């Protein structure tokens, strides 16, 4: 429940409640005017940081080639020469050892996504629009203005009638207790993990790293400890619990697991991404705090990562890049999504009127950093050429907008709300098929916070669209304010996992979403 929340809503609310838009009256072309020479700077930094490795590899290749072309007599003469030239032997050996060591120590170990599982709640927890509104009215917590406001949000949100709310919210009056919140967390996390372990045939004792992220529910013992206790994970497991990091925390959790897999060899890492609704339902009448009630729904995902070379043959994806953008040093960005109490003392998440501009700035920074890593050189040259023309010859020339469709085959945009998806489709110049997974995940499961990008990836797989070599861009927004991206490459033609959340309904999609 954070800045990722967005959706259609009436015009009399604060600007922030309309959703995460790129900027009021501005689009990606305006953003790129401030990029200047960042592409060049990033390329320069990358070149310098890897200069030694880039120089040593060609030298070593030349030495190997030359040695392979020598006949027996040449090798004999070389050996005789080296026997009487100890200095040459020492220098050559030192150079070879040093070069090999630098290469081995600086290379990044590949991180593989073996498989993942998305939790699907039982049908008894479904919350159709009519039931949702009737239940809200019967609780007696909302005035008529708030009820009408929620009705309009639901109509324009992009959600369907099959999304789920936790069991505590189905009672009259609702029962948002600590025990109920624990039960929701257990059902989601254990449901996803049970399916993941069954699908991958990995034993819980084999897990060396565990990262759990849940923004608004952080009990003691922690959620990660609950998993350790449930599955009897080994005593030296490296466990982490990320709280308060919003809808983009799923990418942060993957990034943390990736870094740990660079240090700890030959092991598995499990990432569990979820959100807890039970104790975070807002029972007040402040409109900017009512939106999460209408958009957030039950969901979670468990992801199995590996640095074992043997897992390459069975893994689905390889992690290519993670790019994280954090605007928290700016006070407005820090306060734009803020959990607080309203005038009546009821707790909720308040959305600032600056949310749109801040989200746009975070997105701009993120894709500016990501671009040089993923875009083909032709796109980078075109962008650079337009930048030079604009800077030195004609300031009225519009900057070149890189075509990210040339870098990615699939897009998993956080299903924070319809407005989020609409704006990214428009400003990244995507086709409807590129945002289909995001729209359908929002329609079927609602905003499941940090796990939404995995429901979207599962949709693409269920449709049979993932082929070997395809690249996927997962992008998520979150409080703080953050914009994070993860890039994956398919190692093989990917089939849907067993017990996919789309297993019995994929043939019904895509559906027409009423605007």
Among all residues, which ones are annotated catalytic? 247, 326, 410, 414, 443, 447
SS3 239: strand
φ, ψ (nearest 5 deg) of residue 147? -65, -45
For 114, counting Cβ atoms within 10 Å of its Cβ (0-12 exposed, 13-18 middle, 19+ buried), the class is: buried
Whats the size of the chain, residue-wise? 515
Q: What angle do CA 202, 460, 436 make, to 5 degrees?
A: 145
Q: State the virtual CA torsion across 255, 358, 407, 456 in degrees, nearest 10.
A: 70
φ, ψ (nearest 5 deg) of residue 322? -130, 125
How many of the other CB atoms lie within 10 Å of CB of 76?
11
Residues 6 or more apart in contact with residue 344 via CB below 8 angstroms: 284, 285
Whether residue 299 has a cis bond before it, omega within 30° of 0:
no
For 48, counting Cβ atoms within 10 Å of its Cβ (0-12 exposed, 13-18 middle, 19+ buried), the class is: exposed
DSSP 246: G
For 403-465, the DSSP string reads -GGGT-SEEEE--S-HHHHHHHHHHTT--GGGSHHHHHHHHHH-B-GGGHHHHHHHHHHHTT-
347-351 and 337-341 beta bridge pairing: antiparallel
Tokens of 96: 């070879």
Cβ atoms of residues 50 and 384 within 8 Å: no
DSSP 339: E
Strands (E), 69-145: 112-118
Q: Alpha-carbon distance 372 to 394, whole Å? A: 24
Cβ atoms of residues 32 and 399 within 8 Å: yes
- The label of the residue with tokens 């890189």 reads 402
Strands (E), 119-245: 207-213, 238-242
Exposure letters 374-410 (e unless 16+ CB within 10 A, then b): bbeeebbebbeebbeebeeeeeeeebbbbebeebbbb
């Amino acid at each position: 429940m954070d800045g990722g929340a967005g959706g259609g809503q009436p015009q009399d609310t604060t600007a922030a409640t309309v959703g995460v838009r790129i900027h009021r009256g501005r689009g990606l072309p305006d953003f790129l005017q401030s990029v200047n020479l960042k592409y060049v700077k990033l390329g320069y930094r990358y070149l310098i940081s890897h200069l030694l490795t880039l120089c040593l590899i060609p030298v070593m290749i030349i030495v190997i080639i030359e040695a392979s072309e020598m006949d027996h007599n040449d090798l004999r003469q070389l050996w005789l020469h080296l026997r009487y030239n100890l200095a040459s032997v020492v220098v050559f050996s030192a150079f070879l050892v040093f070069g090999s060591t630098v290469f081995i120590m600086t290379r990044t170990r590949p991180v593989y996504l073996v498989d993942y599982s998305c939790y699907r709640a039982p049908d008894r927890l479904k919350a159709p629009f009519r039931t949702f509104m009737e239940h809200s009215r019967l609780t007696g917590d909302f005035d008529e203005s708030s009820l009408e406001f929620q009705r309009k949000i639901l109509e324009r949100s992009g959600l369907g009638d099959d999304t789920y709310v936790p069991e505590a919210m189905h009672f009259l009056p609702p029962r948002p207790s600590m025990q109920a919140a624990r039960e929701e967390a257990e059902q989601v996390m254990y449901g996803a993990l049970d399916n993941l372990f069954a699908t991958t045939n990995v034993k819980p004792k084999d897990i060396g790293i565990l990262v759990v992220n849940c923004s608004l529910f952080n009990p003691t013992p922690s959620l990660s400890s609950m998993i350790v206790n449930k599955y009897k994970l080994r005593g030296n497991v490296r466990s982490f619990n990320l709280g308060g990091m919003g809808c983009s925390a799923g990418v942060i959790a993957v990034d943390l697991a990736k870094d740990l897999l660079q240090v700890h060899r030959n092991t598995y890492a499990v990432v569990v991404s979820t959100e807890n609704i039970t104790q975070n339902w807002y029972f007040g009448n402040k409109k900017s705090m009512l939106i999460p009630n209408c958009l957030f729904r039950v969901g979670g995902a468990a992801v199995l990562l590996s640095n074992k070379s043997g897992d390459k043959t069975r893994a689905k994806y390889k992690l290519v890049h993670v790019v994280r953008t954090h605007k928290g040093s700016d006070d407005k960005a820090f306060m734009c999504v803020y959990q607080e109490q309203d005038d009546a003392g009821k707790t909720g998440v308040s959305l600032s009127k600056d949310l749109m501009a801040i989200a746009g700035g975070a997105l701009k920074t993120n894709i500016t950093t990501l671009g040089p890593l993923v875009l083909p050189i032709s796109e980078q040259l075109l962008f650079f050429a337009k930048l030079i023309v604009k800077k030195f010859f004609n300031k009225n020339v519009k900057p070149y907008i890189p075509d990210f469709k040339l870098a990615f085959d699939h897009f998993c945009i956080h299903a924070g709300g319809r407005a989020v998806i609409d704006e990214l489709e428009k400003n990244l110049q995507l086709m409807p098929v590129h945002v289909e997974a995001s729209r359908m995940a929002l329609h079927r499961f609602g905003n499941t916070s940090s796990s939404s990008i995995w429901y979207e990836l599962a949709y693409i797989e269920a449709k049979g669209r993932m082929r070997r070599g395809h690249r996927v861009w997962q992008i998520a927004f979150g409080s703080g304010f953050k914009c994070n991206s993860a890039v994956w490459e398919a190692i093989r033609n990917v089939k849907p996992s067993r017990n996919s959340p789309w297993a019995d309904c994929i043939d019904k999609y895509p559906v027409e979403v009423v605007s």
